[in-house]
């Protein structure tokens, strides 16, 4: 109990001078107190990244521009008609509030639409991380956009029809 009373006056002395951090974190902190919000730096540098998901591989290049998407030579709405897939590929830009700041050029092959959308999302996140790691990495990492989803289809086993499906049992 004597320790807690000894610590109380020290924290009051610290509060009187300048605001001190009360805990340590690996995430970057935003503006403290009544400071005006800091404007995000404008998109000024190109970046590139590779994303993989299931059997899909996406090569992504971002360049400062007006927010246009080119996926295998087609627009985003043409290549991914499903709105969910459009939202998935755009998530890293929305998380960083850079939606419309970069033109995104994508070459993707393999897999299906869902796997390709996941691969593009990882590629976009990696390219944004490459542009400005100090600013972008904490947000992307916390949202989970820089993590490769390692789940792949299970292989077919001998004696089974599929990975786990066995032939029907017949008693006679």
Residue 101 token pair: 């700041």
- Per the model's pLDDT, the better-predicted residue between 12 and 63 turns out to be 63
pLDDT per residue as tens digits for the range 80-132 = 999 999 999 999 999 999 888 899 999 999 999 999 999 999 999 999 999 88
Q: Does domain 47-143 have CATH number 3.20.20.30?
A: no
CA distance 135 to 128: 10
Report the predicted TM-score, pTM, of the whole model to 2 decimal places. Answer: 0.71
* Exposure letters 131-143 (e unless 16+ CB within 10 A, then b): bbeeebbebbeee
Residue 69 token pair: 């998407």
CB 77 within 8 A of CB 86: yes
Residue ranges of domains in the chain: 47-143
Give the phi and the psi of residue 49 in degrees, each rounded to 5.
Answer: -160, 160
């Amino acid at each position: 109990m004597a320790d807690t009373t000894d610590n109380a006056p020290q924290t009051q002395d610290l509060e009187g001078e300048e605001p001190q951090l009360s805990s340590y974190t690996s995430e970057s902190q935003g503006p403290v107190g009544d400071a005006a919000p800091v404007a995000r730096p404008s998109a000024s540098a190109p970046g590139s990244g590779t994303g993989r998901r299931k059997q899909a591989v996406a090569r992504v290049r971002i360049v400062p521009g007006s927010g246009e998407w080119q996926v295998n030579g087609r627009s985003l709405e043409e290549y991914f008609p499903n709105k969910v897939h459009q939202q998935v590929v755009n998530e890293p830009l929305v998380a960083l509030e850079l939606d419309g700041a970069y033109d995104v050029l994508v070459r993707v092959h393999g897999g299906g639409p869902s796997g390709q959308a996941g691969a593009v999302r990882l590629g976009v996140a990696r390219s944004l991380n490459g542009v400005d790691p100090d600013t972008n990495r904490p947000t992307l990492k916390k949202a989970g956009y820089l993590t490769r989803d390692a789940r792949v289809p299970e292989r077919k086993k001998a004696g089974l029809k599929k990975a786990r499906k066995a032939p029907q049992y017949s008693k006679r």
